[in-house]
């Protein structure tokens, strides 16, 4: 190792040729003997010393069958363990602190620690949520009223048939065996709505105007009005006309209307606004640092990075 000296001290003869096993036999009473230096690695403040006591203790903790791999005699075991384990480990530890030697895992952990510390500093510097004025809370409440003032929603499963006769036949089969499994099978076999038939005709939770909580899904409000006439778990007694089709409707559940005043959710809104402020501060800081520090970025080289394909998504469970 350039720039560093490795000095192996003279092996203390009495220490390495003592008869008997590799375990310390004097219980640590012979302090001078155990403090004798077997090997000295490096120099200056980074000098690493290996003593007789350290060698004995490390060997004593090792099972006898494992010690056997280092030699057939106690002396061979002592010498091999010193050179192959203790000295080798000390040299690698010494090299880890040398200039230009890095460990990607440690570097990543340090980067994450510094990043998290910066975020904690931003949070600590931000004013408390209690200082956010009532006017700002009210403005957020008004802009997001749907979150706090939601109408009743009904979960509906529906099979869309091309004729009334077909719908009546499907309804009779569903009523005879009112289970999700049966309804899913009927939907897959008969429903003309190819957007929902694979999931049993599950339309999600519908508002009175037919808007579903499922993204991009909306149905004829007549379906909702028909479902409102029965209780949870019941079928609408006759097919419902839906455009040029006839629908078999099963009301599966209800989410009651919820209304929360700004006073009730004020603390929640303040907390959310406080977190948004911290996020904005962090985003602004990252933008400034990116402008100042990021350079020579070659996005086209990302095409050379091989990424294993993602596993296939599991089919959505029937609801």
Going residue by residue through the chain (319 aa), what tens digit of pLDDT does each one get? Answer: 333 333 333 333 333 333 334 444 445 458 888 999 999 988 877 788 999 999 999 999 999 899 899 999 999 999 999 999 999 988 888 877 777 767 778 888 989 999 999 999 999 999 999 999 999 999 999 999 888 888 899 999 999 999 999 999 999 999 999 999 999 999 999 999 999 999 999 999 999 999 998 888 999 999 999 999 999 999 999 999 999 999 999 999 999 998 899 999 999 999 999 999 999 999 999 999 989 988 888 888 888 877 777 676 666 555 4
Give, in order, the Cα–Cα distances in Å from 270 to each of 135, 141, 143, 232: 11, 10, 14, 37
What is the model's pLDDT at position 252? 96
What is the model's pLDDT at position 10? 33
Q: Report, in this order, helix, strand and coil percent for the chain, each rounded to 5.
A: 50, 15, 35
What is the model's pLDDT at position 11? 36
Q: How far apart, in whole angstroms, are the C-alpha atoms of residue 23 and residue 18?
A: 11
**Residue reference for tokens 């091989």:** 306
What is the model's pLDDT at position 20? 37
What is the model's pLDDT at position 293? 87
What is the model's pLDDT at position 1? 39
What is the model's pLDDT at position 21? 40
Query: Residue 185, class by beta-carbon neighbours within 10 Å (0-12 exposed, 13-18 middle, 19+ buried)?
Result: middle
What is the model's pLDDT at position 296? 82
- All structural domains of the chain, each given as residue ranges with its CATH number in brackets, are 6-96 (no CATH), 146-258 (3.10.50.40)
Report pLDDT digits (tens) over 93-142. Answer: 887 777 776 777 888 898 999 999 999 999 999 999 999 999 999 999 99
Backbone phi, psi, residue 21, to 5° = -80, -165
What is the model's pLDDT at position 31? 86
Query: Residue 270, class by beta-carbon neighbours within 10 Å (0-12 exposed, 13-18 middle, 19+ buried)?
Result: buried
**Chain centroid to CA 9:** 51
Please state the pTM of the whole predicted model: 0.47
**Residue reference for tokens 């009532």:** 134
What is the model's pLDDT at position 311? 74
What is the model's pLDDT at position 166? 97
Under DSSP, is residue 34 helix (H, G, I), strand (E, B) or coil? helix
Q: In angstroms, how far is the first alpha carbon of the chain from the final one?
A: 67
What is the model's pLDDT at position 29? 58
What is the model's pLDDT at position 316? 55
């Amino acid at each position: 190792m350039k720039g560093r000296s490795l000095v192996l001290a003279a092996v203390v003869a009495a220490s390495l040729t003592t008869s008997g096993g590799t375990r310390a036999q004097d219980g640590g009473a012979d302090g001078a003997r155990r403090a004798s230096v077997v090997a000295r690695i490096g120099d200056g403040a980074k000098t690493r010393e290996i003593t007789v006591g350290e060698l004995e203790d490390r060997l004593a903790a090792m099972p006898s069958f494992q010690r056997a791999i280092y030699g057939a005699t106690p002396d061979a075991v002592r010498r091999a363990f010193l050179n192959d384990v203790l000295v080798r480990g000390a040299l690698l530890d010494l090299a880890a602190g040398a200039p230009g030697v890095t460990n990607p895992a440690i570097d990543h952990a340090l980067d994450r620690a510094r990043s998290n510390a910066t975020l904690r500093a931003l949070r600590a510097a931000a004013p408390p949520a209690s200082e956010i004025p009532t006017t700002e809370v009210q403005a957020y409440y008004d802009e997001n009223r749907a979150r706090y003032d939601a109408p009743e929603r009904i979960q509906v499963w529906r099979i869309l048939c091309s004729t009334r006769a077909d719908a009546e036949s499907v309804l009779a089969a569903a009523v005879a065996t009112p289970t999700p499994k049966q309804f899913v099978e009927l939907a897959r076999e008969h429903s003309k709505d190819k957007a929902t038939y694979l999931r049993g005709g599950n339309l999600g939770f519908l508002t009175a105007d037919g808007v579903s909580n499922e993204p991009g899904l909306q149905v004829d409000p007549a379906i909702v009005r028909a479902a409102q006439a029965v209780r949870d778990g019941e079928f609408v007694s006759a097919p419902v006309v839906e455009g040029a089709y006839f629908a078999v409707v099963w009301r599966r559940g209800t989410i009651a209307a919820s209304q929360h005043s700004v006073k009730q959710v004020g603390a929640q809104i303040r907390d959310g606004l406080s977190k948004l402020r911290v996020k904005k501060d962090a985003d602004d800081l990252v933008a400034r640092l990116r402008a100042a520090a990021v350079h020579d970025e070659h996005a086209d080289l990302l095409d050379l990075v091989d990424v294993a394909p993602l596993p296939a998504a599991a089919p959505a469970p029937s609801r």
